[in-house]
Chain A
């Protein structure tokens, strides 16, 4: 059973139902009988959709081989921030739990071990604390670090 998915930039992707229903969103459409025609995905562009579908397909293929799957996942998620961002939003929209999890983990890994200033710089966030506020929170949250 093949399904047709249309990206935001009007590209059509034909996929097996088994692969596509990794997305809970698509799965519920199929179950409700709304998947006969092309399924439009206005929030996902073709580039991202292609990646997402690759993820889904590999998860079907490698389902039984945990080690191989992990290797694939680790390699898959090595993308630049722009793509990671797109993947996050697509996985959220399409409700693909394992992809969303992995992408969020990648973001968390990116933030680990950085100082607040480093995080702000990486993500271009402006510090909206006043120096007093910052000092107070620092005292409350950051335990004294030794060694």
Chain B
């Protein structure tokens, strides 16, 4: 490589006419270097004298990062030299080659190079860097983008701190869209609703599943809010409803609290919060379902008639079924909710971005609907109403109420355009999103279950699953139920039959275990108190595997200092970042 350089040196002078390289000086330096490197000592160059020119400088045209470099005193020349340190930040720099317009590109790694610069910028001598800068002045932005887009989330955050150009390049809408389109994203599990010392801490714990690394995000805006539901939609997490204590702000205080209608949206990529329209009804722990819809989707209007299962004809008067509807006190309470924003102490620590999702949503304007049903109302009463949010109009619309004998909804998930919901009394219904009505679904008998554990529905790649805790025949003792076990069941959507898919390895200690389906994976988090300690377990199952076996991805990470009430308030969402 060196000899090549040396023979090329004759042409160097011509190539660098504009840069006025003195042939004599180049030759003399290269000769010196030749002597130096002949002994194969390339790597042993003395630190104090030489400069390590390891730089892949990724510039943009004009005005990108500039290279600062140490100069060496070794090649003593009569002209004076300036020593500038590349590591001194913000101290300014000197262009290595010639004029302001040409940004320097120096690219040599692992080989200590020498270059030096005269005071007169036009007149300088370079070695290896000269050969490089002859060919390319800088690495184009689009190539730099292509490299940065492949960075995992945490490295991307770091890259933003490198320099202004990198910050700009990695936060454009185009870049985020590129990242979404490619295979660069990995699943992240977000745990919300942890309670510390009686306070809803507003902490979000995020697990980078592929790296097995936890991160904590402080979300002051969530302080004091508990029993909300969350759903991951594209790049954001929607925080819906919930309660906050009226008497002692921040505490998980169920003696006196108000229930929210508000919906907050968290965007991890830009670590920002925004608000969207509030629901029509205040709800705590509503059951949420998300579905992407086509841009010409229209919200159907068959929503206000009180229909039960389609096979039934006739109905019962609304008044008797829903006395609260006519209650004045309730109306007043609803009005009260409108002012919820003013109840929050003035906090400047979070920022709202009021405009459309441009900045935070990398998916651009992919239209979706968010359905919110059930939950508990302002007086802790179970709600049978439901509403649907349309991202295109930023509006909530009431949907048909739950069938009256359906029971309390305890779990729901969207699968193939149908929002399936499961009730505490073991009923299954589906809301046809396109057509806008509920249908009852008769399946083969549900797996019998332990009464207190409400099954959870999850959807993976268009398949519907349910996690249910049941009694299991004891080992070697047929007929004796002495062990409870959590099993994963799949519903055949064609024949409506349940079949067992796998068994969860952990004893079901948490009746409020949260499970979330994401592509082909099901993530689960259990938190429970045992022997005075709170423990947490995060597990994952790949349903595309034949055995659909579960594995632990984290144990006891977040639970030191947490309160037992975290078990009840915790929720889980999964995003691809």
CB of B135 within 8 A of CB of A116, answer no
Q: Contact: A104 with B160, CB < 8 Å?
A: no
Question: What are the residues of chain A within 8 A of B217 when measuring CB–CB?
Answer: 143-144
CB within 8 Å for A143 and B58 given contacts A85-B136, A88-B143 = no
A28 contacts partner chain B, Cβ-Cβ < 8 Å:
no
Knowing A92-B140, A125-B65, A126-B93, say if A85 contacts B161 (CB, 8 Å). no
Pick from B103-111, B441-449, B479-487 the stretch touching chain A.
Answer: B103-111
Chain B residues whose C-beta falls within 8 Å of the C-beta of A129 in the assembled complex: 90, 161, 163-164
Q: Are A124 and B136 in contact (CB under 8 A)?
A: no
Q: In this complex, what residue of B is CB-closest to A107?
A: B147
A81 near B150 (CB under 8 angstroms)? no
Verify if B67 is at the interface (C-beta below 8 Å from A): yes
CB pair A128–B110 under 8 Å, yes or no, is no
Who on chain A is nearest to B132 by CB?
A82
The listed residue (B90, B146, B161) touching A141 by CB distance below 8 A is B161
* Complex: A82 Cα to B167 Cα, angstroms: 25
Whether B111 lies near A80 (C-beta < 8 A) is: yes
A124 is contacted by which of B106, B139, B164 (Cβ under 8 Å)?
Answer: B106
A126, B146: Cβ atoms closer than 8 Å: no
CB pair B162 A119 closer than 8 Å: yes
Q: Is B218 an interface residue when CB atoms closer than 8 A count as contact? A: yes
Q: Are A124 and B86 in contact (CB under 8 A)?
A: yes
Contact status B136-A147, CB under 8 Å? no
The answer to whether A86 and B135 touch across the interface, beta carbons within 8 angstroms, is yes
Count of residues in A whose CB is under 8 Å from the partner chain: 49
Of the candidates B66, B150, B215, which one forms a contact with A144 in the assembled complex, judged by CB atoms under 8 Å apart? Answer: B215
Binds B, one of A16-24, A68-76, A132-140: A132-140
Which residues of chain B have C-beta atoms less than 8 A from A11's C-beta?
Answer: none
Q: Which residues of A contact B65 (CB under 8 A)?
A: 125-126, 128
Write out the residue numbers on chain A whose beta carbons fall within 8 Å of the beta carbon of B4.
47
CB < 8 Å: which of B108, B139, B161 contacts A142?
B161
Could you say which residues of chain A place their CB within 8 Å of the CB of B161? 116, 129, 134, 137-138, 141-142
Contacts of B140 in A (CB 8 A): 92
Within 8 A of A (CB), among B46-69: 53-58, 65-69
| Contact present for B150 and A123 (CB under 8 Å) | no
> What size tier do the contact residues of chain B reach?
35 or more
Measured CB to CB, the closest approach of chain A to B564, in angstroms, equals 22
Q: Give the docked Cα–Cα distance between A146 and B214 (Å).
A: 6
Q: B216-229 toward A: CB 8 Å interface, digit per residue (1/0)?
A: 11100000000000
Measured CA separation A107–B270 after assembly (Å): 24
B214 touches A108 (CB 8 A): no
Q: Does A12 contact B (CB under 8 A)?
A: no
Q: Is the CB of B68 within 8 A of A126?
A: yes
Chain A residues with Cβ below 8 Å from B54 are 81, 122, 124
Main secondary structure of the interface of B (DSSP, over half): loop
Q: A89-B136, A125-B58, A128-B90 are in contact. Are A82 and B108 (CB under 8 A)?
A: yes
Of A89, A111, A116, the contact of B151 (CB 8 Å cutoff): A111
* Cβ-based interface call for B346 (8 A): no
**Whole-angstrom distance between the alpha carbons of A50 and B546 in the complex?**
46
Contact check, A137 vs B160: say whether CB atoms are below 8 A apart. yes
**Any chain A CB within 8 A of the CB of B271?**
yes
Q: Is the pair B163, A85 in contact by a Cβ cutoff of 8 Å?
A: no
Contact partners of A124 in chain B: CB under 8 A: 53-57, 67-69, 86, 106
A124 vs B52: C-alpha distance when bound (angstroms)? 10
- Which of A81, A131, A141, A144 makes the CB contact (< 8 A) with B218? A144
Query: B6 within 8 Å of A by Cβ?
Result: no
Residue from B152, B164, B270 in contact with A112 in the complex, judged by beta carbons closer than 8 Å: B152
Contacting pair A128 B164 (CB below 8 A): yes
Q: How far is the CA of A89 from the CA of B150 in the complex (A)?
A: 17
Residues on B with C-beta less than 8 A from A112 are 151-152, 155
Please report the C-alpha to C-alpha distance between residue A146 and residue B69 in the assembled complex, in whole angstroms.
Answer: 35
Given contacts A86-B135, A137-B161, contact A105 B110 (CB under 8 A): no
Complex partner residue of B162 from A108, A127, A142, CB under 8 angstroms? A127
Q: Are A80 and B69 in contact (CB under 8 A)?
A: no
Known: A129-B161, A144-B217. 17 other contacts (CB 8 A): A84-B56, A88-B139, A89-B135, A108-B147, A111-B155, A114-B155, A116-B161, A122-B54, A124-B54, A124-B69, A124-B86, A125-B67, A126-B90, A127-B162, A143-B206, A144-B215, A147-B557
Taking beta carbons and an 8 Å cutoff, which residues of B are in contact with A? 4, 53-58, 65-69, 86-87, 89-90, 93, 106-111, 128, 132, 135-136, 139-140, 142-143, 146-148, 150-152, 155, 157-164, 167, 206, 213-218, 270-271, 557
